[in-house]
Chains A and B, each alone.
Chain A
Amino acid sequence: MSEWIDIGALDDIPVRGARVVRTTLGCVALFRTGEDEVFAIDDACPHKGGPLSEGIVHGKAVTCPLHNWVILLENGEVQGDDEGSVRTFRVKVEDERILLDPTLLASRNAA
């Protein structure tokens, strides 16, 4: 259970861009910021389910492409006057490889 899942290389995600990972919990969006940090959150905006992975990444936030809600990548909270949050998932980068929290698979096992 302690083994992290190797998802791919850091360079598979464009700088200030995102890629999607399909999981049993739905699609998870992996973001790479301008500072090469990587974050993983649900790929669905709490507003109308917009694909966050298609949004514009700025600082440590992403703007939903459908109605411009801004979501903080670190904690999944919606910024500004709107309210809501999305799930976040633990992810780390080691030796230019992206490693995702294995609990994603654990949830699948439990299901």
Chain B
Amino acid sequence: MTQRLVVIGAGMASGRVLETLFETAPCAYDVTLFGAEPRGNYNRIMLSPVLSGEKTYQEIVTHDADWYAGHGVTCRFGEPVTAIDRARKVVISEAGETPYDKLIVATGSDPFIIPVPGKDLPGVITYRNLDDTNAMIAAAEKPGAKAVVIGGGLLGLEAAAGLKLRGMDVTVLHLMPHLMERQLDPAAGYLLQKELEGRGIGIHTRANTHEIIGTDRVEGVRLDDGTEYAADIVCMAVGIRPATALAKEAGLACGRGLHVDDQMITSDEDILAVGECVEHRGMCYGLVAPLYDMAKVAAKTLAGEAAEYTGSVTSTKLKVTGVDLFSAGDFAEGEDREEIVLRDAAQGIYKRLVLRDNRIIGAVMYGDTADGNWFFGLLKDRTDIAEMRETLIFGPAFAGGTPLDPMAAVAALPDEAEICGCNGICKGQITQAIASGATSLDLVRGQTKASGSCGTCTGLVEQLLAVTLGDEYAAPAAQPMCKCTELTHEDVRRLIKSQKLTSMQAVFQAGNWKSSCGCHVCRPALNYYLIADWPDEYQDDPQSRFVNERNHANIQKDGTFSVVPRMWGGITTANELRAIADAADKFNVPTVKVTGGQRIDLLGVEKQDLPAIWADLNKVGLVSGHAYAKGLRTVKTCVGTDHCRFGTQDSTGLGIKIEKRMWGSWTPHKVKMAVSGCPRNCAEATCKDVGVICVDSGFEVSVAGAAGMDVKETEALGKAVAEDEALDLIVAFVQLYRENAKYLDRPYKWVAKVGLDWVKERVVENRENRQALIARFDHSQTIYQTDPWAERANDQTTKRWSPMADLTLEAAE
């Protein structure tokens, strides 16, 4: 009989419990997973790279909807559990009661908010989850915005570095005399402070926050000594405390955290707990490695296997790109302790080992942390180091003065040396996986999970691959376009331009394609690149286009298509509407829907009917809306000065002009635009690929917004006084995007890669270049600005798009 397992908290600890449980006892439990956040498990320790813009949220998702579905987990995300009734064995949430046989509490931790006046003002943010991260990213969008980070520990410094990379003016306030005092000694703390100050981050130590100033929202921070810092946001990162409110209310034994035994069982034998909410043998943990250790034990306990958690020794790395910092164990000074210190001021290297009875009990490293795992191994294993004490500080590869070769260092590590601290994976497990066929980083990650969490050991895993496989290991270069070639998209675009490759075969040849005619990944991309670069020479290949572009309609899940005629700037007429209504009647269109782009979608048309419906729509002047295209989709408008009492310019008119000029152009991905007649922005222009806000003095053109998988506000490209100049900026921007972006990168992704300054230089500042871009765009339009529907609204297409033969009819005769 399957038991019911309810899990409260969808974080990394409970995620690992479920992974281990499904491996150990796949069908033992029927799992219901509650999460307060409206999303599943993601790699929380990678929020810092998301904040700094080095990764996206999608890249740090650990369990997606498919994973949960595949394992039969009932997800209740965004639904906090409000109480546990242990007598009746149910958990209570907004939707009612959910019964359990076994319960896991994994509620994590709450950020500690220092009790100063102003702590509740809008703009005071903690740094625990994706919403916090997004709030900080949003705050950084404002040019010249200022951030104050309270707390110079691990989290606070990662937040500060990320906000700085986002362009904010950042000050860190830290209560203690040096940064990260729990992990670093004063010397390393000093080096770290110098490094961060060198990056333009202000650091104020011994800073006792007196109050957060502001009336409607946060305006600044005042210290006890009277110093004031102005701030648009204040990030509170002073620490965490186990989130035990729910457990306490249910009468479970709690101290600082929720008490568990070595099997991760609480004072109620049917309730287990893991993660940051837990107190085990007097210790609470806030790092991922102990959480994973706990999770494994909890999963085994649930599966009925014997397992024991005996506590963890932890090490720390700071995830700030370019800062190498490692610390582990106990490094306070004391009478029974000795230390070995190595300093290289010129290179900014500092290493310190704390010894007791010839054993390492603490290690701090700054600037060069390559040997960190080796020292950490000696520390955890309590290895007697008397024999190697003389050379210990130089690491495992010291061989009498020859320079350290990182490969030799990795090769010299014993099999038990821990490589991946987050997942507790040691060298032996990795080399074993490599020997049994995991010959790439991805494969090693898949089989062992090494380097799959915080990622800082990725380099070590790659070195192990290189050492184990020798020449057979090819270090991964940039991601190739597809399996047909080693070249990246960027390589291919360069090649097409520099060698004047004007046909797909020429690209296959010059790029050493491994397949005869490409594949479904490279062919659509190449077809686009060739169209964009050689409009005169290259002939569009319909067989290299995805189904929608080949058929000039959007395929639906049942194999029928949808038809969306263009409505310029969202303006239509009674005559057009009549033609659409007639077509819907004539072709038995089951669904007629108004789209978000201010036009009408006819859904559920059979493929062979497409040419006829197009012919009918063409008769009143309706043309293809390219709703299926990696090309110009819609230009949304508001009514502007024509009707609106707030309108400053003719936004509808400008929208129509843009659409008339640019329709039919192919782009790397779809392009959506909007023009709003005043800053009230009724056309929602600031989340489009290109948006225009009309003001009294002209037109503010902004680009690279998004409102899909990601939501992002546009960034200012330039301001135009006259309508024609606004149009010029837009056309030049789109042409630059057409010529340079990777296929299937929306403008916001492309701009993030090349930088807005690079774009501005070519589109705004260099007027000659702007005109050249416009000329190339207009030339391409002389070839591609044709209505694909009109070209295909004929009997020949109808015949080609109908079944070739109907053997069911023959049978009936």
| A interface with B by C-beta (< 8 Å) | 5, 7-8, 12-17, 19-24, 27, 30, 34, 48, 50-51, 54-59, 63, 65-66, 68, 70, 104-105, 108
Contacts and interface: CB of A to CB of B under 8 A. Distances in A.
Given A54-B555, A65-B547, A59 B517 contact: yes
Contacts of A63: 519-520
Given A17-B543, A65-B547, A22 B803 contact: yes
Interface of B: 515-520, 523-524, 542-547, 550-551, 555, 557, 559, 800, 803-811
27 contacts: A5-B805, A5-B807, A7-B805, A8-B804, A12-B800, A12-B804, A15-B543, A19-B803, A19-B804, A21-B804, A21-B806, A24-B807, A24-B808, A24-B811, A27-B803, A34-B516, A54-B551, A56-B519, A56-B520, A56-B544, A58-B520, A59-B515, A65-B555, A68-B520, A105-B807, A105-B810, A108-B808
Contacts of B542: 14
Contacts, number: 87
Contacts of B519: 56, 58-59, 63
Contact of A65 (B546, B803, B809): B546
Contacts of A20: 803-804
Contacts of A108: 807-808, 811
Contacts of A17: 543
Given A23-B808, A56-B545, 9 more contacts: A8-B805, A13-B804, A15-B543, A23-B807, A34-B516, A50-B559, A54-B551, A54-B555, A65-B546
B524 A30 contact: no
B557 A48 contact: yes
B608 to A, nearest CB: 10
Given A58-B518, A65-B555, A104 B807 contact: yes
A58 B803 contact: no
A19 B806 CA distance: 12
Contact of B547 (A13, A16, A54, A104): A54
B803 A16 contact: no
Tell which of B517, B523, B803, B807 has the most Cβ of chain A within 10 Å.
Answer: B807
Contacts of B523: 56, 58
Given A27-B803, A65-B547, A70-B520, A58 B811 contact: no
Contact of A21 (B518, B543, B544, B803): B803
Nearest to A35: B516
Contacts of B807: 5, 21-24, 104-105, 108
A22 B517 contact: no
Contacts of A57: 543
A51 B808 contact: no
A24 B811 CA distance: 8
A57 to B, nearest CB: 7
A24 B809 CA distance: 9
Contacts of A51: 555, 559
A16 to B, nearest CB: 4
Contacts of A50: 559
Nearest to A111: B811
Nearest to B543: A16
A102 to B, nearest CB: 10
Contacts of B805: 5, 7-8, 21-22
B284 to A, nearest CB: 41
Contacts of B555: 51, 54, 65-66
Contacts of B515: 58-59
Given A56-B544, A105-B811, A7 B520 contact: no
A21 B543 CA distance: 19
Given A65-B547, A66-B557, A16 B520 contact: no
Contacts of A66: 555, 557
A59 B543 CA distance: 13
A31 B523 CA distance: 18
A17 B807 CA distance: 21
A55 B520 CA distance: 8
Contacts of A34: 516-517
Given A34-B516, A51-B559, A63-B519, A56 B804 contact: no
